[in-house]
């Protein structure tokens, strides 16, 4: 009974919205927009869903549906309507109301057959399900993996507009991704908190953060938090240089040091630390543990007592910052407008202060990594930070 009341209320609100749209001169359309979130979760996903859905409903009178758990829901035909009430009140929520999956590569989809996992191309089934939903266009919110799959799906006849998402900030074609600012704020707060315990015990405290092959989170947190050593994938470090720097600080009367290290950082001539290998994942390896490895190396190399902590998935959770809420809302709005204007094969991105469309072909196979000469790197060096090289 309660569900029925809510459904009727939503229908009535929909009618009122359509009447309001006509009165104020908004275009009305019979189009249907589908939205999905793929890959890892990220603060700000719900803000994009909300903005895209509300823009489609209020400005275009379009119907909106949400595909559950990313491309997995497209394969398994799991979706639900997203009326106005369904996306109201979710701006500040972390995660995604639609769910997500980072194992749903349509062209290498894991299936169980005879007690074993096999990989098959299920893209045709996904196209058939999309058409059966009656949707005209898909808004795909995700990182490089999601958008790569989206581009291939688009070539099979599904019109797609992409929205870049990742805490790693490594997507090409946009100056910044939503989720990064929130992750950076969490990491910076962690650095601040480590200062007091490092000072009390006169230790080297190591903070390991996510980022895969990109060092944006480690670089930003190290710069904002006053990290003494910042180690990122783009600048392979020498253990001897790090230890010499720590000993120099100790000899100068600095009784503690703060080290921020990206999970993908590695020593010169060495390799990344792999936490787990995943046969059916979007990424064949999962990074993690480099901070604990560095702790052992520093104690052996310098004799300085060290401790390590990894933030891991804490960086993905919680309420998005004001910056991420606004950026996500702007991206969602523009994605809906492009989708309902007939655009296809474009991603919305931040360029300077503007939200602009970026062609998929201009971002395919490219990552936005930290340039070793980036201004943030230069500033960190100027205030005494060591990059171990």
Mutual orientation of helices 322-340 and 45-60 as an angle, nearest 10°?
A: 40
Q: Is residue 236 part of a domain?
A: yes
Complete edge-to-edge strand list for the sheet that includes strand 204-209: 229-231, 257-262, 204-209, 306-310
* 186 domain residue, yes or no: yes
| 252-263 per-position pLDDT tens digit | 999 999 999 999
Residue 358 forms part of a structural domain: no
Q: Are residues 17 and 141 in the same domain?
A: yes
CA angle 201/203/205 to nearest 5° reads 115
User: Looking at per-residue confidence, does 277 or 362 come out higher?
Assistant: 362
Average pLDDT of the segment spanning 10-30: 52
- For residue range 84-130, list pLDDT tens digits in order: 999 999 999 999 999 998 878 999 998 888 888 889 999 999 999 99
Structural domain tally of the chain?
Answer: 2
> Could you report the per-residue pLDDT of 135-191, keeping only the tens digit for each?
999 999 999 889 999 999 999 999 999 999 999 999 999 999 999 999 999 999 999
- Would you say the pTM of this structure is higher than 0.85? yes
Q: Is residue 108 in a domain?
A: yes
81 shares its domain with 190: no
For residue 368, report the phi and psi dihedrals to the nearest 5 degrees.
-95, 95
7, pLDDT greater than 70: no
Residues 343-359 pLDDT 10s: 999 999 999 999 999 99
The predicted pLDDT at position 16 comes to 55
Q: Are residues 308 and 227 in the same domain?
A: yes
Same domain, yes or no, for 291 and 326? no
Q: Provide mean pLDDT across the span 290-294.
A: 94
26 in a domain, yes or no? yes
Q: Does residue 357 form part of some domain?
A: no
Percent of the chain whose predicted confidence (pLDDT) is above 90: 76
Average pLDDT score over residue span 60-88: 96
**Do 199 and 172 belong to one domain?**
no
2 pLDDT above the threshold of 50: no
The mean per-residue pLDDT over the stretch 312-323 comes to: 93
| Claim to verify: residue 205 and residue 298 sit in the same structural domain | yes
Is residue 21 situated within a structural domain? Answer: yes
* Structure tokens given for 74: 């497209």
The mean of the pLDDT values for the chain is 90
The structure tokens listed for 360 are 């998929």
Q: Is 168 known to be catalytic?
A: yes
Give the residue, 291 or 281, on which the prediction is more confident: 291
Please tell me whether residues 153 and 209 are part of one structural domain: no
pLDDT of residue 271: 87
Q: Over the range 259-273, which residues count as b (16 or more CB within 10 Å of their CB) and which as e?
A: bbbbbbbbbeeeebb
User: Are 193 and 303 part of one and the same domain?
Assistant: yes
Same domain, 298 and 162: no
Residue 187 belongs to a domain:
yes
In terms of residue numbers, what domain contains 244? 181-317+371-382
CATH number of the domain within which 311 lies: 3.40.50.460
Q: Verify that 334 and 304 share a domain, yes or no.
A: no
* CA 71/CA 91 separation, integer angstroms: 23
Report the length, in residues, of the chain: 389
One domain for residues 167 and 206: no
Both 291 and 250 in a single domain? yes
Higher pLDDT: 361 or 66? It is: 66
Q: How confident is the model at residue 25 (pLDDT cuts 50, 70, 90)?
A: very low
Q: Pick the residue with more confidence: 284 or 204?
A: 204
User: What angle (nearest 5°) sits at the alpha carbon of residue 265, between those of residues 262 and 270?
Assistant: 165
Q: Where are the alpha helices (DSSP H) in the chain?
A: 2-24, 45-60, 71-75, 123-133, 144-154, 180-201, 216-225, 239-251, 290-302, 322-340, 375-382
Instruction: State residue 140's pLDDT score.
Output: 97
Q: How does pLDDT run across 223-235, given as a tens digit for each residue?
A: 999 999 999 999 9
Domain with residue 143: its CATH number is 3.40.50.450
Q: Please, are residues 358 and 347 in contact by the beta-carbon 8 Å criterion?
A: yes
Given the residues 41, 136, 151, 168, select the one marked as catalytic: 168
């Amino acid at each position: 009974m309660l569900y029925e009341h809510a459904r009727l209320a939503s229908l009535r609100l929909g009618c009122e919205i359509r009447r309001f749209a006509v009165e104020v001169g908004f275009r009305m359309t019979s189009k249907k927009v589908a939205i999905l979130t793929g890959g890892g979760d990220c603060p700000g996903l719900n803000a994009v869903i909300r903005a895209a859905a509300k823009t489609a409903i209020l400005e275009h009178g379009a119907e909106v549906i949400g595909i559950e758990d990313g491309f997995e829901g497209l394969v398994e035909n799991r979706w639900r309507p997203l009326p106005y009430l369904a996306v109201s009140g979710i701006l500040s929520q972390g995660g995604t109301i639609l769910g997500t999956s980072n194992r749903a590569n349509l062209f290498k989809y894991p299936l169980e057959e005879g007690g074993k996992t096999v990989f098959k191309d299920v893209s045709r089934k996904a196209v058939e399900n999309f058409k059966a939903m009656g949707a005209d266009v898909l808004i795909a919110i995700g990182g490089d993996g999601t958008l790569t799959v989206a581009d291939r799906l688009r070539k099979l006849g599904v019109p797609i507009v992409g929205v870049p998402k990742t805490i790693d900030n490594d997507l090409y074609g946009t100056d910044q991704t939503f989720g990064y600012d929130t992750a950076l704020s969490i990491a910076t707060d962690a650095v601040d908190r480590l200062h007091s315990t490092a000072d009390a015990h006169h230790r080297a405290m190591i903070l390991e953060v996510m980022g895969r092959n990109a060092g944006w989170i480690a670089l930003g947190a190290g710069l904002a938090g006053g990290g003494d050593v910042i180690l990122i994938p783009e600048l392979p470090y020498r253990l001897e240089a790090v230890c010499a720097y720590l000993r120099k600080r100790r000899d100068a009367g600095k009784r503690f040091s703060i080290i921020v290290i990206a999970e993908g950082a590695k020593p010169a001539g060495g390799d990344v630390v792999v936490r787990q290998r995943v046969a059916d994942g979007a990424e064949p390896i999962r990074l993690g543990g480099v901070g604990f490895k560095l702790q052992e190396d520093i104690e052996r190399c310098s004799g300085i007592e060290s401790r390590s902590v990894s933030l891991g998935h804490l960086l993905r959770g919680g309420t998005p910052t004001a910056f991420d809420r606004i950026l996500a809302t702007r991206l969602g709005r523009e994605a809906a407008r492009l989708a309902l204007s007939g655009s296809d094969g474009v991603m919305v991105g931040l360029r300077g202060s503007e939200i602009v469309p970026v062609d998929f072909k201009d971002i395919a196979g490219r990552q936005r990594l930290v340039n070793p000469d980036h201004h943030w790197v230069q500033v960190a060096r100027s205030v005494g930070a060591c990059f171990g090289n």
